[in-house]
Structure 1
Amino acid sequence: MLRFSNFLFPESRDPDRDAEVIADCIAEAKLCDELGVEVLWLAEHHFDGNCAYVDPVTFAAAVLTATKRIKVGFAVAQVSLHHPTRLAEQMALLDNIGKGRVIVGLGRGTAYNVYEYQGYGIPWEEAGSLYEEAEGIMLKAWTSPEGFTHEGKHWTLKVPRLRPTSFTRPHPYVIRAASSEEGALHLAKRGLPFLMNVQSNETTAKRMALYKAAMEQAGFDAAHVARCLDESWVWRNVVVAPTDEEARRIGVPAFEAMQEHRRRLREKIYAEQGIIMKKEEVPPARTDPGHALISGSPETVAEKMAEIEATGVGGVICSFRLGPMPADVAAGSIRLFMEEVAPRFAAGAVSAAAE
């Protein structure tokens, strides 16, 4: 059974409209809760308007109090920008506010936007090692009732027992991002599920097969492997409308404007700073609407989702509001998806259709 979620990743190009877009986000969260979306994923990006609410930790508290049943996940918290003890405290508090509805998605931080590190006074070259050390500290903080000490490359800590204790035991649910095949296989050897970026179905199928084989080779049993596959997610851009033509009319310009805006922003920063953290070689599966955008009628989108289901991944992170797309258009797309696409993948739907 394929599972569905929404990536709430709102663009705000005009600083004077930030408050309006943030209010739209709360409304979208409430709509998703009402319609039965399983998870609302939050992003983290700073200073550029690519993510209007900026701070997903603070915003998650607002979403959790505004909703009743939807889970709130991080896709991802940029761990290298946070002090790990503080982040562990904040996640434990959110876990209590939501009574276990938090998914702590962890990643090192952006590989492209150097100003995010500069704004926090953090060397971007150390983002990877900061992340690795911070993850271990957070897990210790959640699971050490007597407190602990830590001496590492970046932090020397003497941490008493963390308060509040998390609602979920032994700690909030944690998932890691893996944007590369190497990253996915690293998590497979640890027997952990993962979050994937936008990619082709061919890439997803290949990655899932390698991931499954690596877990089996590492000695994990069939039940554990199946659980990790079910708990892994892949990101797709999605627009649903009554007809294929209308969905393309709505979706393609919004998607292209979003990609062009991000490309120009990165080129501007490269030109100003002369710093390229990572050469951007983005495949068409992420930038070409013919590959990177699922748009169409409910029937067409359901067919595309069935193709994703066939790759073996357990869930799809659907990004519905793309670039400058108006909030009401995104809301209509979400409603159509949840009312006419998602039910086709519910437990019992396949067997019922076969009878």
Structure 2
Amino acid sequence: MRTGVFLFHESRDPSGDSQVIDEAVREAQLAEAEGMDAVFLAEHHFDGNCVYVDPPTFAAALAMATTRIKIGFAVLQTSLYHPLRVAEQISLLDNLSKGRMIVGLGRGSMVNQHEYSGYQIDPQSAQERFEEIEKILIQSWTSDHLKHEGKYWNFDVPMMLRPRPYTKPHPQILRAVASEGSIMGQARQGRPVIMAAATAKGAARNIEAYRNAAREAGVSDDRIDWAISESWVSRTVILAPTDKEAEEVGLPYFRQMQTYRAAQSSAFEEMVAKANAQPTLPVLCGSPETVMEDFTNLAKTGIGGVSIRFRTGPMPAEFSARALKLFMKHIAPEIRDTKLAAAE
């Protein structure tokens, strides 16, 4: 199983934005130095929940600051973009990174309505825009004529998109899936996905639903195995040398993140209330020894990779950097598939 870091750095005070952005770059460099396979970027606007805000721009910085690690989106809020502009951006990134891009696409958050209003996008149109943009991206990267007729965009430019993608025919595209319906929809096409799961048991249920839907649609077992091996699951982990420190020092940072975001969004507030009403913690928390079993069980599902958010809320960079090192020293060797890593 591949390993990655999910950079989702919060900054509540605008005066601290520059520092937290720098810390995010350093965490990506640390992930590469420690042997991780990928770094994934989030996207949120206006609220400080994702300090670097613009993942294509930040990905360009990371492409220059690293040499080996893959750079992924988890995910682009695709409906907020003009399709040709984002096609150019991703193609440029693919060249700058020499083919290290993983293009995770989603329609956009249905929790943060202020992002749609800020960009003057009707949230009810997000899914349709997303579907249309994905088609345009592939057309732009593989044809020599920029022509499209659709519901939201119409253009006819007798030229090709430049630069051409470094990766042929184009960078890897993964869809974000947040519900069983969306998982089954991608499974029927035999497509790799990015999913979120709080526990290995939850990931296993999602993967089983994927396999069943794919088989019912006539997708071959080989294709299903390949798609799952190319898929990623996102996790949030509070990791410290001891359970006591993880629970007493690390977990409060996660709780502060929940409170901060809940105050900005009633939909997120409902999600937090539901998660916190469960008898178990809403996040994996503890020492490497405590969380090890969950990760080894996750590896047994066959999922291709796990991307981990170590830093939440106002957590200091030193705390999350130590967590990343602990993970790579104690947990990664137990879950990494050396054959899979070598194929990269």
TM-score by length of 1: 0.90
**Aligned amino acid, residue 152 of structure 2:** H
Unaligned runs of 5+ in 1: 268-275, 350-355
In structure 2, the residue matched to 1:271 is none
CA distance in 2, matches of 1:133, 1:152: 7
* 1:147 lines up with 2:137 in the alignment: no
SS of residue in 2 equivalent to 1:300: helix
Greater Cα shift, 208-217 or 4-13? 208-217
Deviations 1:88-115 (A, max 9, x none): 1110100011111000100001102111
In structure 2, the residue matched to 1:323 is 313
In structure 2, the CA distance between the partners of 1:102 and 1:320, relative to structure 1 (3 Å rule), is: same
In structure 2, the CA distance between the partners of 1:306 and 1:49, relative to structure 1 (3 Å rule), is: same
**Aligned amino acid, residue 339 of structure 1:** K
Deviations 1:317-338 (A, max 9, x none): 2110011100111000001111
Deviations 1:189-230 (A, max 9, x none): 111011112444333222211211222222222221111111
In structure 2, the residue matched to 1:300 is 290
Q: Within 5 A, what are the aligned runs for 1:77-92?
A: 77-92=76-91
* 1:59 lines up with 2:82 in the alignment: no
CA distance in 2, matches of 1:20, 1:109: 27
CA distance in 2, matches of 1:95, 1:307: 33
Greater Cα shift, 295-304 or 152-161? 295-304
CA distance in 2, matches of 1:348, 1:101: 19
**Aligned amino acid, residue 11 of structure 1:** E
Deviations 1:128-185 (A, max 9, x none): 11111111111100111x2142111101111421111101110011101010000010
Q: Within 5 A, what are the aligned runs for 1:278-293?
A: 280-281=270-271, 284=274, 290-293=280-283
By how many angstroms is 1:249 displaced? 2.0
By how many angstroms is 1:289 displaced? 9.6
Deviations 1:239-297 (A, max 9, x none): 22222212222321011111111111114xxxxxxxx7x99456855886934322222
In structure 1, the residue matched to 2:342 is none
Equivalenced residue count is 338
**Aligned amino acid, residue 86 of structure 2:** L
In structure 2, the residue matched to 1:27 is 26
Given candidates 300, 324, 345, the residue that maps to 2:335 is 345
SS of residue in 2 equivalent to 1:190: coil
CA contact (8 A) 2:10 2:313 kept: yes
CA distance in 1, matches of 2:49, 2:272: 18
SS of residue in 1 equivalent to 2:89: helix
* 1:309 lines up with 2:307 in the alignment: no
CA distance in 1, matches of 2:30, 2:210: 34
CA contact (8 A) 1:185 1:214 kept: yes
CA distance in 1, matches of 2:207, 2:337: 22
* 1:135 lines up with 2:109 in the alignment: no
CA contact (8 A) 2:178 2:195 kept: yes
Identity of aligned residues (%): 46
In structure 2, the CA distance between the partners of 1:52 and 1:261, relative to structure 1 (3 Å rule), is: same
Deviations 1:58-79 (A, max 9, x none): 0000011000111110000011
**Aligned amino acid, residue 304 of structure 1:** D
In structure 2, the residue matched to 1:18 is 17
**Aligned amino acid, residue 318 of structure 2:** D
CA contact (8 A) 2:43 2:76 kept: yes
**Aligned amino acid, residue 119 of structure 2:** Y
Q: Within 5 A, what are the aligned runs for 1:1-355?
A: 2-144=1-143, 146-159=144-157, 160-267=159-266, 280-281=270-271, 284=274, 290-347=280-337
By how many angstroms is 1:3 displaced? 2.1
**Aligned amino acid, residue 44 of structure 2:** H
CA contact (8 A) 1:200 1:292 kept: no
CA contact (8 A) 2:146 2:161 kept: no
In structure 2, the CA distance between the partners of 1:161 and 1:113, relative to structure 1 (3 Å rule), is: same
**Aligned amino acid, residue 109 of structure 2:** T
CA distance in 2, matches of 1:62, 1:289: 42
CA root-mean-square deviation: 2.0
SS of residue in 2 equivalent to 1:316: strand
